[in-house]
Amino acid sequence: MREVVFDTETTGLSAASGDRLVEIGCVELVNRVETGRTFHAYFNPERPMNPDAQAIHGLSDAFLADKPLFGDLIEDILDFFEDSPLVAHNASFDFSFLNHELSRHNRPDIPNARMIDTLALSRSKFPGAKHSLDALCTRFGIDRSHRIKHGALLDAQLLSLVYVELTGGRQIGLGLADSMIDSGPAEQGHSIIGSRPARPPRVHAASAEELERHKAFVSKLNDPLWDIGRDEEGLAAA
């Protein structure tokens, strides 16, 4: 199963109030494993950056001035998404900005049915705990020492690790043998999942020769423990 974990950075907190997307980072997962395929881009928001937002992600008006517009890369983004489920932390926030940008170019919204919200998953699994990305990385022992400021691609990579842990870790269910047997060709740019052929089961029963050797070995033992009970039964009968 293919999924895309993504994160965004913005000029502020409200797309409805005119804030815009300035960065997106995406990580591809297949069967909960990163394939190595990513998508990352900065955008010129065509409006000033909110100082509070800049303090979080460090993206300034000067840095974004020569970056492409969202519309310039809209096809690349949708091509990377394909029709896969989209995983995000506090996903309604990211979806609102993403759909706002799509609507500006007369594109249909991405439906909420494709949304997987790791914040909701965390709240369900760990009620009463802290649910920030930093807190979840700490909970699962994920190294975030290189996360000085928020960055869409870095946060998506960290979130992909968190998502795997929230959904059961690397071994999902007991279907490992099936995934190893299913070895269809991989698409260009995707990792190959389950490409090894299934091996026949190994025989674990002792052969006739081994049984005879074992019998001969046992016959040479002096006073084996399993005969003590028999000797006591024989004395009692006598």
Name every residue whose Cβ is closer than 8 Å to that of residue 30 and which is 6 or more positions away in sequence: 1, 2, 3, 190, 191, 193
CA–CA dist 185, 198 (Å, integer): 16
Is position 57 annotated as part of the catalytic site?
no
> Phi-psi region for residue 61, left (φ > 0), alpha (ψ -120 to 50) or beta?
alpha
CA–CA dist 163, 47 (Å, integer): 33
Among residues 150, 190, 204, 214, the one annotated as catalytic is 150
CA–CA dist 48, 74 (Å, integer): 22
CA–CA dist 65, 47 (Å, integer): 10
In 3-state terms the chain splits into helix, strand, coil percentages (rounded to 5) of: 40, 15, 45
Q: Residue 115, Cβ neighbours under 10 Å: how many?
A: 16
Q: Is 148 helix (H, G, I), strand (E, B) or coil?
A: coil
Active site (catalytic) residues: 150
